[in-house]
Structure 1
Amino acid sequence: MNNKGSSKLFKFIFEYALSIGAFILIWKIYVDATGVPEYMMPKPGAVFARLAEMMGGKEIWVHFLVTSSEIFLGFILGTLLGIIFGYFLEKSTFLKDALMPYLIFAQTAPKIALVPLFVIWFGLGLTSKLVLVVSMVFFPVMEGTMLGINAIPKDVRNLMKILNASKFQILREVEMPSALPMIFSGLKVGMVQAVIGAIVAEWISGKQGLGYVLIYASSTFDTVLLIAGIIFTIIVGIIFYELVNLMEKKFLYWHESQQVR
């Protein structure tokens, strides 16, 4: 790794460490100063000891794998559908006018209220959870694709017409590269949504996964486990989000947004 890459990694670790350290300090000061009962707000030491115990065992990793598979599959499917729909809706005024009202209606519907319906329609297994995750990833990716394609200058399109470029050549050489920055913006939002969707789905209907760990801790009034589980899910969310960041850096190394960092 070169010096530039090392400095970026150090900056990344330092920023997260500083934020987490400040949060823990405020947390500890609040607990010590107010004397809040431990069943309501345990001390950081107890929570992180429980978190270390969880991570040292096997059970939490089984739940992690279940949730991660839901996030990964749902994110991939939602991304593919979002890019395909976004492309064809932006290319066809008829499809855009016909379908956008329904898509907006589906997006504005409260997802947590739809989970019971998904369970009734698709059962308690993986399918209902995937449907929720896909529905939360789909819209931001679709919007990003549409905005990216719509932002291509007319002069560039006219140049491709003059060069007699085929539709596939325009897609490969102009539309997709130009739309990638906005698509990745949608992917980042979509990844956060995917983590939330998977946790919510498991919270309501799961027997495995990190959402199940949280609902189990809540139902047994185990506040230490609940907060430790929340911290673990935050770590998982950060990891998945940063994976999208790494993909963005790989595919958009040529874009000005990556050059100034």
Structure 2
Amino acid sequence: MSQSVINATPEKVAGVAQRNKPGTGERITRALDRSWRPVALLLVCFGAWWAIAAAELVEPYLVPSPGATLDVLTGKTDYLWQHTWVTTYETLLGFLIAVVVGVAAAVIMVYSTTVEKTLYPILLFAQVVPKIAIAPLFVVWLGFGIAPKILIAVLIAFFPVVISMVTGLKAVDPEMLQLSSTMGANSWQTFVKIRFPASLPHLFSGLKVAVTLAVTGAVVGEFVGANEGLGYVILQANGNLDTPMLFAGLLVMSLIGVILFVLVEIAEKFLLPWHASRRDSGVTTAY
């Protein structure tokens, strides 16, 4: 490659076009373009729910009206908030433990073939075992406190973290590893400068799956044995045929999952601005 091409700016290279950074208006337009479809779908679902309840096609004790559910959300805010905080705490703690242990296990598996061949089948077996089937055992062993819920959240969120991290660490270009070795980098420097940064896009894909599964794990633990948390609220409402409270609990639980997913998405945006999926501007080939 000639020196003139190397020193040339992107817009001066044949077949390459430079995209300008989008302004505030363009960013707002893009955000609206991405969000109007899911918002429209939610409005359609809400409209169908309201129409079914208004037409009394289903008994109110089976499907409550949106108004009745909203009354519960606004009238029992303190009650719901108390249990929401418990479930959120269990979810976050279980998710964080799963991330730390999962990333550490993935690194060890990548750097040790013996550990990978030993640990991977066990992880696969643990993943296919239904967590709701073994949840009662955790309650028997650990009691009705917060520990069984956190453990179930960890077990459910752990597998996506491990698999995504292993995939990311192994997806590094071998030529980059050879180059770092040629330049005298040791294993730690290669990991910090090359392997770990290259694995982050895969890791965040797993984290977005894991954080939503952690909510499910915490609620499953509350279903089995608890006296607080949204799982407890839903179970009590189901036993009392209090469907407005049941629907309110389900909506709040879903909202927790959505918020946590968005937070991971925001963290990915700020930590990986260099990744292709996060670029608002850059170079585009014209071929």
User: Shorter-chain-normalised TM-score: which range?
Assistant: over 0.9
State the match for 2:144 in structure 1: 124
Shift of 1:46: 1.8
User: Are positions 1:225 and 2:239 aligned together?
Assistant: no
SS of 2:63 mapped into structure 1: coil
CA shift for structure 1 position 227: 0.9
Which position in structure 2 is the counterpart of 1:59? 79
1:13, distance to aligned residue in structure 2 (A): 5.7
Q: Which amino acid aligns with 1:210?
A: L
Query: What is the SS of the residue equivalent to 1:144?
Result: helix
**In structure 1, distance between residues paired with 2:154 and 2:224:** 17
The amino acid across from 1:92 in the alignment is: S
For 1:151-190, what aligned pairs fall within 5 Å after superposition? 151-190=171-210
Aligned AA for 1:75? F
CA drift of 1:150 comes to: 0.8
Shift in Å, 1:49: 2.5
Distance 1:256 1:68 in 2: 32
Q: Distance in 2 between matches of 1:212 and 1:64?
A: 10
The answer to whether the Cα contact below 8 Å between 2:84 and 2:252 also exists between their aligned partners in 1 is no
Amino acid at match of 1:20: L
Q: 1:84-99 to 2 correspondence within 5 Å?
A: 84-99=104-119
Question: Matched residue of 1:207: which SS?
Answer: coil
- Which segment is superposed worse, 117-126 or 213-222? 117-126
- Matches of 1:205 and 1:4, distance apart in 2: 50
C-alpha displacement at 1:73, in angstroms? 0.7
Look up the SS of the partner of 1:40 in the other structure.
coil
Query: Larger deviation: 114-123 or 25-34?
Result: 25-34
Aligned-pair CA distance for 1:101? 1.2
Q: Is 2:162 the partner of 1:142?
A: yes
Partner of 1:22: 44
Which residue of 186, 189, 199 corresponds with 2:219? 199
Q: CA deviation at 1:14?
A: 4.0
In the alignment, the residues of structure 2 paired with residue 8 and residue 127 of structure 1 have an alpha-carbon distance, to the nearest angstrom, of 43
Number of residue equivalences: 259
From 114, 122, 128, the counterpart of 1:102: 122
Structure 1 position 181, deviation (Å) = 0.5
Q: Residue 42 of structure 1 is aligned with which of 39, 43, 64? A: 64
Structure 2 counterpart of 1:62, which letter?
A: Q
TM (norm. structure 1) is 0.93
**Cα separation, 1, equivalents of 2:37 and 2:106:** 35
Structure 1 CA distance for aligned equivalents of residues 29 and 267 of structure 2: 19
Unmatched 5+ stretches in structure 1: none
Cα offsets for 1:88-139 (capped at 9, x unmatched)? 1112111111111111111110000111011112121111111111111111
Q: Contact 2:149/2:219 (CA < 8 Å) preserved in 1?
A: no
> Measured at CA, do residues 67 and 11 of structure 1 come closer, stay the same or move farther in structure 2, by a change above 3 Å?
farther
Describe the shift of the 1:59–1:243 C-alpha distance in structure 2 as closer, same or farther (beyond 3 A).
same
* Greater RCO (CA < 8 Å, at least 6 residues apart): 2
Amino acid at match of 1:254: W
Q: Mind listing any 5+ residue stretches in structure 2 that lack a counterpart?
A: 1-22, 282-287
Task: Report the alpha carbon displacement of residue 45 of structure 1 after superposing the two structures with TM.
Answer: 2.1
Displacement after TM superposition at 1:10 (Å): 4.6
Separation in structure 2 between the aligned mates of residue 64 and residue 33 of structure 1, nearest angstrom: 32
Structure 1 position 12, deviation (Å): 6.1
Identity %: 32
